[in-house]
């Protein structure tokens, strides 16, 4: 995907998640079976995962290189990145404690979705500042995937929203 396609997919997947959650009733929103996260917690987790990305994207490219190093390989495709993430999950990978959401009440739904929209809109705005080359030359650490290029981190962010929407759907069907 090129940068414009990434931006379009970021909007599509995050808006889809928000729209899905906004039509849930209170019982569906707070339902958390078998120690699984509720829909509200899923959304909070997505917010929590984008926030540090936005902070990193405020740094100039030279600072990212100084802090995280240089890329030593080409970026993976979207499909390759998703496959690697699924593989890590299947081997027991879980969100680090810093990305584990607290209990979310139904009364927080609108505030939470508004907060998520603002956060991913900031991400999109900051993504626009990177060149296509920057997306493949700058790296960031991911808690499960290790060092990834910015393009790969954005691929992850796209898939992550879809992944958690699917989890919500699956949990509600059980």
Structural domain boundaries, residue 131: 3-19+37-96+103-173
Q: Is the pLDDT of residue 126 over 90?
A: yes
pLDDT confidence band for 19 (50 / 70 / 90): very high
Please indicate, yes or no, if residue 30 is contained in any of the structural domains: no
Q: Is the pLDDT of residue 35 over 90?
A: no
Q: Is the pLDDT of residue 143 over 90?
A: yes
Q: Is the pLDDT of residue 151 over 90?
A: yes
Please indicate, yes or no, if residue 70 is contained in any of the structural domains: yes
pLDDT, tens digit, 9 for 90 and up, residues 73-99: 999 999 999 999 999 999 999 988 889
pLDDT, tens digit, 9 for 90 and up, residues 53-78: 999 999 999 999 999 998 999 999 99
How many structural domains compose the chain? Answer: 1
> For position 174, what pLDDT does the model report?
81
> For position 54, what pLDDT does the model report?
97
> For position 60, what pLDDT does the model report?
93
Q: What integer best gives the mean pLDDT of the chain?
A: 95
CB-count exposure of residue 36 (10 Å: 0-12, 13-18, 19+): middle
Kindly state the average pLDDT of the residues 12-29. Answer: 97
DSSP labels, the chain? --HHHHHHHHHHHHHHHHHHHHT--HHHHH---TTPPPHHHHHHHHHHHHHHHHHHHTS-HHHHHHHH-B--SPPPPHHHHHHHHHHHHHTT----GGG------GGGHHHHHHHHHHHHHHHHHHHTTS-HHHHHHBEEEETTTEEEEHHHHHHHHHHHHHHHHHHHHHHHH-
Q: Is the pLDDT of residue 34 over 90?
A: no
Please indicate, yes or no, if residue 11 is contained in any of the structural domains: yes
Place of tokens 């991911």: 142
CATH of the domain at 11: 1.20.120
Nearest to 108 by CA among 118, 100, 96, 116: 116
With contact defined as beta carbons under 8 Å apart, do 77 and 136 qualify? Answer: no
Kindly state the average pLDDT of the residues 135-149. Answer: 96
> For position 157, what pLDDT does the model report?
98
Q: Is the pLDDT of residue 132 over 90?
A: yes
Nearest to 144 by CA among 95, 82, 77, 101: 95
Please indicate, yes or no, if residue 147 is contained in any of the structural domains: yes
Structure tokens given for 112: 């939470």
What pTM value is reported for the model?
A: 0.95
With contact defined as beta carbons under 8 Å apart, do 139 and 149 qualify? Answer: yes
Q: What percent of the chain has pLDDT over 90?
A: 93
Phi, psi of 116 (to 5 degrees): -65, -45
Rounded Cα distance between 149 and 72, Å, is 10
């Amino acid at each position: 995907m090129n940068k414009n396609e990434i931006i379009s997919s970021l909007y599509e997947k995050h808006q889809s998640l928000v729209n899905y959650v906004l039509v849930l009733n209170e019982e569906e929103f707070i339902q958390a079976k078998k120690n699984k996260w509720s829909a509200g917690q899923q959304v909070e987790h997505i917010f929590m995962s984008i926030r540090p990305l936005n902070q990193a994207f405020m740094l100039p490219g030279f600072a990212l290189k100084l802090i995280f190093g240089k890329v030593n390989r080409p970026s993976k495709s979207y499909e390759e990145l998703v496959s690697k993430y699924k593989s890590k999950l299947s081997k027991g990978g879980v969100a680090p404690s810093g990305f584990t959401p607290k209990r979310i009440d139904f009364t927080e739904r609108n505030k939470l979705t508004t907060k998520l929209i603002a956060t991913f809109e900031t991400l999109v705005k900051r993504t626009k500042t990177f060149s296509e080359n920057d997306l493949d030359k700058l790296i960031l650490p991911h808690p499960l995937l290790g060092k990834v290029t910015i393009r790969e981190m954005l691929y992850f962010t796209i898939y992550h929203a879809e992944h958690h929407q699917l989890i919500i759907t699956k949990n509600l069907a059980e």
